[in-house]
Amino acid sequence: MLIRCQIQCLVVILIAINKPLIGDEEKEEVMKVLGSGRLTDSSFDGSPMVREFEKSLANFIGVKHAIALNSGTSALMASLIALDIGHGDEVLMPSFTFVATANTVLARGAKPVFVDINLNDYTMDTDDLKRKINKRSRAIIPVHLYGHPADMNPIIELARKNDLFVIEDAAQSLGSSYKGNQTGSMGDLGCFSFYSTKVVTCGEGGAITTNDDDLYVNLKKIRNHGIFSNHNPEILGLNLRMPEIEAALINVQMRKIDSFLRIRRKNAKMLSEYLDGLKGVILPRERNDCKYNWYLYTISLEKSRDSVLKILNDKGIGATVYYRTPLHKTQLYKRLGYDDNLPKTIWASEHVLSLPVHPEINEQDISNIASLLKDAIKTIS
């Protein structure tokens, strides 16, 4: 009986959708922090490893400044505080995204306004965006979903025409670029996440990038209770600081990012080759003017998405659906009165499926994923 139970319980995911790659170098750096006894720093400029990370990230993105924080959600919140967005303001964003994008706006007392997406890369539909800008609009948050850069030129043009701020939600897109520009470098502010599934990680963690000197100074205050010196708050702030252990981890990860991105690209290319021409499946296609980090390899299935997903999961493939319930359809936002007509968002939520391409998997894994996907589609058909 015990053996039978163990066998039944061993239906496990063998290939996760994403996996943190933590090696000896990361462990050594963490041990140095523990040995130093300096686990965090409430000074204006932050701790040594935090400052090292900020310099590294700013150089990678190609901006003047980076501000390290304790999560991607904190990055969004601090950005809204810095731009003084609050009661009576509206912020335009996709509904097809993680809830933090909208919840931080809601927490500031402002109103999220949901914009439909395009079905080429699941990013903001600029035509729908244009229709929804009004006199209460204060900012646009384009989301570079799955690592696919949003179409930034028309978004920035609309923002300038209507005197709006642009906050790039680049949580999933570190290493992606649009017309030669890294995501996070084109808006007024760029927000990143280093959650455990991201391209580089420190478990939690986030950052903001900007070229604006005044915003940079204020953001450093905001992450530290609004304090510049002498424990005297000058503006509204919170404890959003990145601890030294997180900074130690992310510093090592940033030294590996080019390798991580190269392997992801190689895996995505192999998977596309294996799946090319598969009937009923729409593969992700990199735009000519963009470069993806391949954070998630997201396909769409014309039918039976959930049945295919179950078969893959039962076979140990960590295929996943992001985002099954768009924000305007969640209990929270329905209770707040949201009932938007976003047909392409709904279609995507019912048809997309993300497959693993992270650096821990090899060519044999890619072959197995493709083979099992083909078998699953054949079985359902």
CATH number, domain of 158, equals 3.40.640.10
The β-bridge partners of 281 are: 301
Give the confidence band of 381 by pLDDT, cuts at 50, 70, 90.
Answer: confident
Q: Which of 229, 252, 275 is the last residue of a domain?
A: 252
Q: What is the pTM of this model?
A: 0.95
Give the confidence band of 231 by pLDDT, cuts at 50, 70, 90.
Answer: confident
Residue 290 and residue 206 share a domain: no
Residue 308 and residue 178 share a domain: no
Q: What does the pLDDT look like over 293-339, one tens digit per residue?
A: 999 999 999 999 999 999 999 999 999 999 999 999 999 999 999 99
- Whole-angstrom distance, CA of residue 358 vs CA of residue 83: 35
Give the confidence band of 101 by pLDDT, cuts at 50, 70, 90.
Answer: very high
Rounded average pLDDT over 245-269: 98
Residue 104 and residue 66 share a domain: yes
Residue 236 and residue 97 share a domain: yes
Other CB atoms within a 10 A radius of the CB of residue 307 amount to: 14
4 part of a folded domain: no
Q: Which of 199, 221, 252 is the last residue of a domain?
A: 252
Which whole-number Å values give the CA distances from 110 to 85, 148, 158, 268, in the listed order?
7, 27, 20, 39
Residue 106: the pLDDT is 98
Residue 317: the pLDDT is 97
Residue 277 and residue 245 share a domain: no
- Whole-angstrom distance, CA of residue 75 vs CA of residue 312: 35
Task: Find all residues with CB under 8 Å of 180, minimum gap 6, and list them.
Answer: none
**Quick one: tokens of 40?**
């965090």
pLDDT of 7 above 60: no
3 part of a folded domain: no
Question: What letter would DSSP give residue 224?
Answer: B
Rounded average pLDDT over 280-300: 97
Characterize the bridge pairing of strands 281-282 and 290-291: unpaired
Residue 167 and residue 42 share a domain: yes
pLDDT of 9 above 90: no
For the chain, count helices (H), then strands (E).
13, 13
Residue 71 and residue 217 share a domain: yes
Residue 372 and residue 236 share a domain: no
1 part of a folded domain: no
pLDDT of 4 above 90: no
The total of structural domains in the chain comes to 2
CA angle 318, 319, 320 (to 5 degrees): 110
Q: What is the CATH number of the domain that holds 277?
A: 3.90.1150.10
Q: What does the pLDDT look like over 312-322, one tens digit per residue?
A: 999 999 999 99
Residue 161 and residue 33 share a domain: yes
Single out the residue of 103, 113, 167 nearest to residue 137, CA to CA: 113
Structural domain including 109 reads 24-252
- Percent of the chain clearing pLDDT 70 (strictly above): 97
Residue 190 and residue 275 share a domain: no
Residue 8: the pLDDT is 43
Q: Which of 194, 218, 252 is the last residue of a domain?
A: 252
pLDDT of 6 above 80: no
> In three state form, how does the secondary structure of 253-287 look?
HHHHHHHHHHHHHHHHHHHHHHHCCCCCEECCCCC
Residue 11: the pLDDT is 52
> In three state form, how does the secondary structure of 104-137 look?
HHHHCCCEEEEECECCCCCCECHHHHHHHCCCCE
**Quick one: tokens of 348?**
């995507």
